[in-house]
Amino acid sequence: MTRITYLLLVSFLIISCSKSGNLTLTGTVKGLKKGTLYVQHIQDTALVNIDSLEIDGDPEFEFILDIKEPEVYYLHLSKENESGYDDRIPFFAEEGAINITTSLKNFEGFAAVIGSENQMYWQEFQNMNKQFNDKNLDLIKGSFEARQSGVQEDIVAYDDSLQSLLKRKYLYTGNFAAVHKDKEVAPYLLLTQIPDAATSYLDTLYKTFPRKTKQSLYGKQVKKLLEERKSN
């Protein structure tokens, strides 16, 4: 065997053994010197590891993943001897390249995810949803204080405000899903944000989804939810 033939064979074996996939996940965990990163997703209601990477000195990471369709994945950090820093960053995985930049001290809170179209819309929704959640907490606090004081008018007013806020959130979520009905994030929001909404409301939204969305992972789950409700 000639030297050139040998080198070609070695190169072929290296390429053959290298990992292939349709999603390249890169990123940096600022301040991380040693630990393990895991990519996870939910399978049969359980969180399972898909891949892992040992970090030893270099805070940058790269995963080559093969995903079947857009789905919410998680980047989990397990840091040696400091379990308090363990955390998970949810991100909407899809074909292409996704980058996650975060820090060790606030692994989830400081995370910036770019590269996924579904992630972009999901983040847009989350920004608005945070306002709903913050307002809800304020109203719950006011309702508690009203009940302590025993002023019936205040109790009724806070209860009405809570119901009104909930209705606004459900309408906003439904409208957001309808506007972005061609994205997999649409059925995902129905499942995670308003699964207890009226069956007729969810059914109306589901019927607006195009075939691609209905046949997605979360589209099928919405269909199953509706079928179970209607059968009961």
Residue 73, domain CATH:
2.60.40.1120
Task: Tell me how many domains the chain contains.
Answer: 2
Q: Are residues 55 and 95 in the same domain?
A: yes
- Which segments in the chain show pLDDT lower than 70? 1-19, 80-86
- Residue ranges making up the domain that contains 99: 3-115
**Burial of 232 per CB tally in 10 Å (0-12, 13-18, 19+):** exposed
Q: What is the pLDDT of residues 35-74, one digit of tens each?
A: 999 999 999 989 999 999 999 999 999 999 999 999 999 9
* pLDDT for res 211: 98
pTM of the model: 0.87
Distance between CA atoms of residues 48 and 76, nearest Å:
11
Confidence at residue 20, expressed as pLDDT on a 0 to 100 scale: 81
Q: From CA 132, how far away is CA 79, in angstroms rounded?
A: 33
Contact yes or no for 119/98 (Cβ under 8 A)? yes
Cα–chain center distance at 208: 23
pLDDT of residue 81: 54
